[in-house]
Structure 1
Amino acid sequence: MADMLRRLALLVAFCSVPPRAAADPLRDRALELMAETPLIDGHNDLPWQMKTLFNNQLNTVDLNTLANTHTNIPKIREGRLAGQFWAAYVPCGTQYKDAVRQTLDQIDLIHRMCQKYPESFMFASSSQDIVEAFKQNRTASLIGVEGGHSIDSSLGTLRTMYQLGVRYLTLTHSCNTPWADNWLVDTPSESPEHNGLSDFGLQVIQEMNRIGMMVDLAHVSEKVMDQVLNQSRAPVIFSHSSAYTLCQHKRNVPDHILKKVRDKKGIVMVNFYNDYVTCSETANLSQVADHFDHIKNVAGPSVIGFGGDYDGVTRVPQGLEDVSKYPDLVAELLRRGWNDSEVKAALGENLLRVFREVEKVRDSLNGSWPDDVPVPLEQVQNTCRTSYGYAPAASGAVAASLGPVLLSLAVLLPRCY
């Protein structure tokens, strides 16, 4: 009897010990693939968090311990994030005011992030830089400017930002520029101004091709998507957009555009924002994987990438709470039958291929001169803009024709000195 009671006590004690979490061989395989191929994400808004929370005073912040953001260095390490396009974003409210200055501040911040944390970040401005950073176990840090209003309709500003390391420009954010329509014109809330791109907008695309800057079609109208896919010499990207068929939000990409992106050898980097995943306030990891499946089924595995939009959105899916969770999504793709080559393509090979082709187009145009034809004055005239350089007669005629309009604007707008 005593022996039986002792055995019973051992059995009770054993059963009271919490079971170990079951090993997940698919997650282990995901980590192996991520050790072989860099995970490159198309869009992260941590720089804007630095702006809004700390006014870009990076010396007062420790990215190793920063809490209450989707992104910090430990989370980056855990998520095996090998390459990140950091967004140099400023709101549409800066348009016609100080958009260029504000954007330069964000570009400067990204450079300073790399300088402050050289063991974690390596500034990257080429496809080869991404490969080198991966070899060094550092996160390749690239810059994407989110919104064409940031260049203030200036090709010179576009070129200067390229020289500072900017490697993609999102043509619009959520406002029209003087040369491109944004996604909201495909909704009842705004009307088209340019029927897509203006003539100057086409100049912007051509100059981006010439200098080697990727054209990002996230945030643009469907008409702009079509025009750019027809006009660009280089492949294009959607840095953070999902599949319209699964969530009919105009920030997402329709199937016929997915096919044109495939034909252009471009890439759509899937956004994790709940509102673009399920068109509701809630979403989960599996529903994000549905977007990966749909894009692969419609346009093939060569079109897909990751574009989480972390720290730029207020709601993220259950299971993808921050940047540490990428391996769980990769494991889910494997669980759904994605093979190793398809997973590697989505992780980073597709983006590297696009980047290299953009560089190849740039090199092929090396002998061409920079475009120095300015935007027509009448397309950008406002009380905060001077007209130096334009022909006096032309600027006078414009001023005369727009006199009543400018007078009314002067009442509404703050003076610019």
Structure 2
Amino acid sequence: MAQESGGAAQEHLDEVRELLTEFPVVDGHNDLPWAMREQAGYDLDALDVAGDRTGQLHTDLPRLRRGGVGGQFWSVYVPSDMGPGENPVAATLEQIDFVRRLLARFPESLAPARTADEMEAARAEGRIASLMGAEGGQSIAESMGTLRALYELGVRYMTLTHNHNLRWADSATDQPRAGGLTAFGREVVREMNRLGMLVDLSHVAATTMRDALAVTEAPVIFSHSSSRAVCDHPRNIPDDVLAQLPANGGVAMATFVPKFVLPEAVAWTQAADDNLRAHGLHHLDTTPQAMRLHEEFEAASPRPVATAATVADHLDHMREVAGVDHIGIGGDFDGTAFTPSDLSDVAGYPNLLAELRARGWSRADLAKLTWQNAVRTLRGAEDAARSLSAKRGPSLATIDQLDGPVPTAGGAPAA
């Protein structure tokens, strides 16, 4: 259960809760769909999020309401290291299918949304505008047609990479290979612009961020990334990139993941991840078995604990560099084993806003952070798409045409 902040921030909780009734949180990234796959095989009867699922999930409908959430990008994530027998496109479609079934099951609470206008309509109805974001270009399998199909199914952003490089883009957490974006990668960005699908630069290498910003004709997002100047982790955003957002019109959505926001947590989390791998589990596993292993590890080696103040430090810096019009929130709930102490689940957003209010953020500043910036950025992508689609048709480019065929082991092109 989310805990409430103490001190000066406590005094502002009622104020920010009132603000959230008018300007609710748009969260850029929530991994409930994958958590439901792992824990319940997507079975909403086996793990019903209509009730409080504290201890199993970070997310359920009662806590979304308590947290003041009014817009959610549900991640339709698939791992970037799927094995040869696994199909990332099929797995992405299964994720999309789950989100559609989730929305159909709870129409009184969750509203399908594909546009900024539909987000505003959901807010007016008191429902949570629900969008989808594909986390990693592995979901399109190097196919422009698949990219367009995902857009037609409602996907409104794609993170260019996840934790591993693609042939056409470098990841933040892999060894550089492409040097950023290849020619095909740049064409993917242009086609996303033409469609109106937001280019998400979380997870990508800084070189990829810079290449994408040089190519894009529409606003970009960082769906769940914080400041590299505050916590020097490759998943975070360098200041020179943040400084480009005002000209681009995009938004950087600060994440809550302790190893990305608290320097002391970086090494500890690496050791905890290694412990999971030693037991044959994926380091991103959040199943009950994985959490028991984490609890045992933590008992022997207490972890450094982030707080809402830790995240606020990032937002203060990101605001200073990019401006208050270009920041937002992307918690990564249900995609991380650990959370800040007072941002432990989706009910915790008021604690962060109260901390910022105690630091002098105005009501207008907070409204931009929670709702207005994210909606404006999606609208900007839609406006760009109308213009671009009038000028050019769908891209028929292939990766072999633009980047060349994959070399064989001996170095010669594949037949």
Class of the TM-score when normalised by the shorter of the 2 chains:
0.7 to 0.9
SS in 2 for 1:92: coil
Alpha-carbon distance between aligned partners in 2 of 1:49 and 1:91, rounded to the nearest angstrom:
13
Alpha-carbon distance between aligned partners in 2 of 1:274 and 1:282, rounded to the nearest angstrom:
7
Aligned pair partner of 2:318 in 275, 295, 318: 295
Aligned residue number for residue 48 of structure 1: 34
1:107 aligns with 2:113: no
RMSD, aligned CA: 2.2
1:300: how far off? 1.3
Residue type at the aligned position of 2:408: L
Alpha-carbon distance between aligned partners in 1 of 2:342 and 2:409, rounded to the nearest angstrom:
57
Please give the residue correspondences for 1:113-124 in structure 2 after superposition, counting only pairs within 5 Å: 113-124=102-113
Please give the residue correspondences for 1:370-381 in structure 2 after superposition, counting only pairs within 5 Å: 370-376=394-400
SS in 2 for 1:369: coil
Residue type at the aligned position of 1:352: V
Deviations 1:297-330 (A, max 9, x none): 1221111101000110111111111100111111
* Length-normalised TM-score, structure 1: 0.83
% identical aligned pairs: 41
Aligned residue number for residue 361 of structure 1: 384
Alpha-carbon distance between aligned partners in 1 of 2:8 and 2:313, rounded to the nearest angstrom:
25
Please give the residue correspondences for 1:315-394 in structure 2 after superposition, counting only pairs within 5 Å: 315-367=338-390, 368-376=392-400
Alpha-carbon distance between aligned partners in 1 of 2:393 and 2:91, rounded to the nearest angstrom:
29
Alpha-carbon distance between aligned partners in 2 of 1:51 and 1:119, rounded to the nearest angstrom:
23
Aligned residue number for residue 61 of structure 1: 47
1:379: how far off? 6.2
SS in 2 for 1:178: coil
Aligned residue number for residue 75 of structure 2: 87
Residue type at the aligned position of 1:213: M
Alpha-carbon distance between aligned partners in 2 of 1:402 and 1:248, rounded to the nearest angstrom:
37
Contact residue 267 and residue 354 of structure 1 kept, 8 A: yes
Q: Aligned in 2, Cα 1:94/1:380: closer, same or farther, shift over 3 Å? A: farther
Alpha-carbon distance between aligned partners in 2 of 1:215 and 1:77, rounded to the nearest angstrom:
28
5+ unaligned residues in a row in structure 2: which ranges?
1-6, 266-303
Contact residue 9 and residue 357 of structure 2 kept, 8 A: no
Q: Aligned in 2, Cα 1:380/1:123: closer, same or farther, shift over 3 Å? A: farther
Aligned residue number for residue 262 of structure 1: 246
Contact residue 148 and residue 173 of structure 1 kept, 8 A: yes
Residue type at the aligned position of 2:215: Q
Aligned residue number for residue 167 of structure 2: 178
Alpha-carbon distance between aligned partners in 1 of 2:110 and 2:330, rounded to the nearest angstrom:
19
1:83: how far off? 0.4
Alpha-carbon distance between aligned partners in 2 of 1:337 and 1:373, rounded to the nearest angstrom:
50
Contact residue 9 and residue 358 of structure 2 kept, 8 A: no
Q: Aligned in 2, Cα 1:283/1:203: closer, same or farther, shift over 3 Å? A: same
Q: Aligned in 2, Cα 1:81/1:320: closer, same or farther, shift over 3 Å? A: same
Alpha-carbon distance between aligned partners in 1 of 2:133 and 2:165, rounded to the nearest angstrom:
19
Contact residue 95 and residue 150 of structure 1 kept, 8 A: no
Please give the residue correspondences for 1:146-225 in structure 2 after superposition, counting only pairs within 5 Å: 146-185=135-174, 190=175, 192-225=176-209
SS in 2 for 1:272: coil
Alpha-carbon distance between aligned partners in 1 of 2:334 and 2:382, rounded to the nearest angstrom:
29
SS in 2 for 1:89: coil
Alpha-carbon distance between aligned partners in 2 of 1:155 and 1:378, rounded to the nearest angstrom:
13
Contact residue 29 and residue 73 of structure 2 kept, 8 A: yes
SS in 2 for 1:76: helix
Contact residue 252 and residue 276 of structure 1 kept, 8 A: yes
Aligned pair partner of 1:402 in 382, 399, 408: 408
Contact residue 81 and residue 164 of structure 2 kept, 8 A: no
1:87: how far off? 0.4
Residue type at the aligned position of 1:246: V
SS in 2 for 1:302: helix
Higher RCO (C-alpha under 8 Å, 6+ residues apart): 2
Deviations 1:129-183 (A, max 9, x none): 1111111111111100000111000000000000000000000000111110000
SS in 1 for 2:193: helix
1:263: how far off? 2.2
Contact residue 13 and residue 350 of structure 2 kept, 8 A: yes
Q: Between Structure 1 and Structure 2, whose CA radius of gyration is higher?
A: 1
Aligned residue number for residue 292 of structure 2: none
Alpha-carbon distance between aligned partners in 2 of 1:197 and 1:81, rounded to the nearest angstrom:
34
Residue type at the aligned position of 2:362: N
Aligned pair partner of 2:234 in 250, 254, 273: 250
Give 4+ residue runs of structure 1 displaced > 2 Å after superposition: 21-25, 57-61, 93-97, 377-381, 401-406
1:364: how far off? 0.7
1:24: how far off? 4.8
